[in-house]
A and B are shown apart, each in its own frame.
Chain A
Amino acid sequence: MSFSIDEWFVVTLARTIHDREVVFHGFGSPCAQVAMHVARHTHARDMLLVEGATYAVNPDPPFIPPTGNDESLQRGSVYRMRIEELFDAAMRGDVDRMFLSGGQIDAVGNTNVTAIGPLDRPKVKLGGGGGGCNLAATIDHLTLWTTRHRSGRTLVEQCDFVTDMGHHTPEGSRSELGFTGGGPEWLVTELGVFDYGGDGRARLRQVFPDVSLADVEAATGFELEVGPDLRSVPLPSPAELAALRAVDPLGVRRLEFSPDELRRTFTHGEAAGCTC
C-alpha cells in the first residue's frame, strides 16, 4: 500500500490523541482536523471530538470542507456546543488536548500566529490566534504541528511575537504564571517528531525515513537536541489510511503542504522506502 507524506503526517498527529480524551482544534488547521477524525475512527473511539469552528460534538462529516465553519462539519452530531461552552470547559481544565500551529514555533513551544518582524510595522501580518492565548494556558496537553519546517523560517530560537505560550517566556514558566495546563507535549513536522524535555525544550525523537539528521539540523533555527532513542516515524496502518481517505475525500489536508513536499510518497513494503 502506498501513501503520501500528508497522509503519514496526519496519522502521526492522530496518534498523539489518547482514547477518552476531550480534543479540540481551531480553524484553518485541516491537518489537525482530519487527524482528530482519524483517531476517532481508529484507536480513540470514545474520545470527545469538538469540531473546529462549529463546536459540534462528535460529528461525522460527509467530507471535510476547505473552511472550518461549514454545516458539513456538524452533520451526524447530536449536540452542538456554543463557542463559550467550549471555552469555559477549557478554562476550568476539562479539555485534554488542543492542536496549535504557528508561522514561528520556538525551542520551548511558544507559537506566533500574529506577526513576523516588529509589531508596529510587521514584515508579515499573520492572521491571528483565535482563542489560543487563553486556551493554551489551561488545556492539559498541546500537540503542535507545522508542515513548513524545511523552510528554515518556522522553527526559531525565539518568536518575534508570542501569541500562545509554550513552556516558558521571559515573564516566567507556566507554573509561575498560574497556568493549569501542561503545555506542548509533541511537535510534529514534515521532517520528524519532537517531544519536550524537563527543561521545556524540544527534543527530536523520530524522523521520516527520507529525512536525514543533517536535513533536520539545517532546517531548525534552535540548537537541535536529539533524544537517545531516535527512530523512524512509525508507519501508518491500512486502517488509519482508510479512515483518513474516507473522511477527507477533497484532500484539504494537502492545502498545508508545499507542492515539493507532496511529491514524497512511501510504500509499506521495502521498509517504507521513499519512492520519490
Chain B
Amino acid sequence: MAFHLNPDKLGALDAAAALVGDGAVVALGGGLSARLPMALVRELIRQGRRGLHVVGSAHGIDVDLLVAAGALGVCEESYVGFEQDLGLAPAYRRAAERGEIEVRESCCVTLVNQLRAAELGLPFLPVRGVKGSDIRRLHPEYGEVTCPFTGETLVAVPALEPDVTLLHAPLGDRRGNLHLEQPFVFDERFAHASRNVVATVDRTASTEEVAAAGITVPAHLVAAVAEVPYGAHPTSCYPGYAYDRPHLAEYVEAATAGGEALAAYVDRYVTGAPTEEAYRKLVGEDRLARLTRWSESTDAWKELFA
C-alpha cells in the first residue's frame, strides 16, 4: 500500500497489464454492467495470465470472460451474472459446476469491512451478520471475537489487501489522478486497500481538468495508467457511453453454447484482436458512437436498451 510517487505513469496497456502476475489477488472495479475494466481483462487474457484470484462485489462479463479464457483460479466475488435480463453467467456457472474453479463466494458488506481493515492497517474487523449463513462455510479463514465491552460474539473477518486493483475511469491525468462518476461501487475502498492500482482511462487530460471534474482516486495510489478509449466496453462508462446490451447478449449466447462458439468469441474479440484499437474496429466505430448518444433524449437512451 506504499504510495506511488512517480510523476508520470502513463504507458501502454500491455505494460500496465504486465503488473498483474499469475495467481495475483485482483480487485475488479466497477459493477454489473458499469465501468468494468474490460480492456485490462482482455489484455490479461491476451498475455495468457493464469490462476487469478478475483475479489469484489457484483460482476458480470469481466469475471465470466476470465473464466472462459482459463485465466481464473479463485472467485471471491459476491455475485457473478447478468441479472434478470440475460441470466446466469454461463462460463462461471459451468466451471463452478464442474469444480474447475474455486468458488469462495463472499458478501459485499463483509468485503467492505475486510478492505477497511487493510486500509486501517488492522488485522481484522468484526461484522454482525454472516452467522446463520452458509457463506461462512466457504470461508474457513473467518474467526470469532468477543467484544471486550459488551461480551457480544461477532464474526471476525481478516484484512483483505489485494495485490492489484484494476479500474477503468472516464478521465485521468499522466500522474494517475482519476475522476470517476458515481456509483463508485468498491473502487475507492479497493484503491486504498490494494498494493497497486492499475487503471485505464477513456481520455487523458491535464491535471487541472481532472481536478476540476473531481479526483476520486488520487495519483499517489495509482501505479500505472493507460489511455484506452471505450476501455469499459461492452459495459458503460458514463458520462461517455451506455452499456452495449446487444454485445452482452452476443457474449452470453456464445458462452451458453460453450465449446467452439465461446472459443470463437474469445478468438474474435480478444486473442484475435491483438490491440484495443483492433477491438474497437471489430466492434465498429459507428456502433460505439451510438452508445454515446444516450444523452440526446430519453427516447434515444431507452432505444439503446429496448
Contact = CB atoms under 8 A, between A and B. Distances in A.
A82 to B, nearest CB: 6
Contacts of B7: none
Nearest to B236: A70
A114 B105 contact: yes
Contacts of A80: 182-183
A70 B128 CA distance: 30
25 contacts: A27-B32, A53-B58, A62-B301, A62-B302, A63-B298, A63-B305, A68-B83, A72-B301, A84-B116, A114-B105, A114-B135, A121-B97, A125-B92, A125-B97, A129-B78, A130-B57, A131-B108, A132-B107, A133-B107, A137-B132, A171-B132, A177-B132, A178-B128, A179-B128, A252-B85
B120 interface: no
A66 interface: yes
Nearest to A168: B132
A152 interface: no
B37 interface: no
A29 interface: yes
Contacts of B131: 137, 165, 171, 177-179
Given A133-B110, A133-B129, A134-B128, A250 B302 contact: yes
Given A83-B184, A124-B93, A134-B128, 5 more contacts: A87-B112, A90-B109, A122-B97, A123-B97, A130-B57
Contact of A67 (B32, B78, B89): B32
Shortest 3 CB-CB contacts between residues of A and residues of B: A134-B129, A127-B81, A134-B109
Interface in B79-133: 79-81, 83-85, 88-89, 92-93, 96-99, 103, 105, 107-110, 112, 116, 127-133
Contacts of A256: 84
Contacts of B210: none
Contacts of B110: 133-134
A242 interface: no
Contacts of A138: 128-129
A165 B85 contact: no
A53 B112 CA distance: 15
Nearest to A67: B33
Interface of B: 31-34, 57-58, 77-81, 83-85, 88-89, 92-93, 96-99, 103, 105, 107-110, 112, 116, 127-135, 137-138, 152-154, 181-186, 188-189, 236, 238-239, 242-243, 245, 294, 298, 301-302, 305-306
A229 interface: no
B109 A127 contact: no
A135 interface: yes
Specify which of B58, B89, B103, B188 lies most central, judged by the most chain A CB atoms within 10 Å of its CB: B58
A162 interface: yes
Contacts of B298: 62-63
A119 B137 contact: yes
Nearest to A127: B81
A133 B112 CA distance: 13
A57 B189 CA distance: 21
B83 A66 contact: yes
Interface string A137-178: 110000000000000000000000111110011011010011
A222 B33 CA distance: 37
Specify which of A83, A115, A164 lies most central, judged by the most chain B CB atoms within 10 Å of its CB: A83
B119 to A, nearest CB: 11
A133 B135 contact: yes
A122 B112 CA distance: 27
B97 A69 contact: no
A57 B182 CA distance: 12
Contacts of B138: 119
Contacts of B33: 67, 69-70
B103 A125 contact: yes
Nearest to B306: A250
B296 to A, nearest CB: 13
Contacts of B109: 87, 90-91, 131, 133-135
A55 interface: yes
A177 B128 CA distance: 9
A67 B128 contact: no
A131 B133 CA distance: 12
A165 B133 contact: yes
Given A70-B242, A121-B97, A130 B108 contact: yes
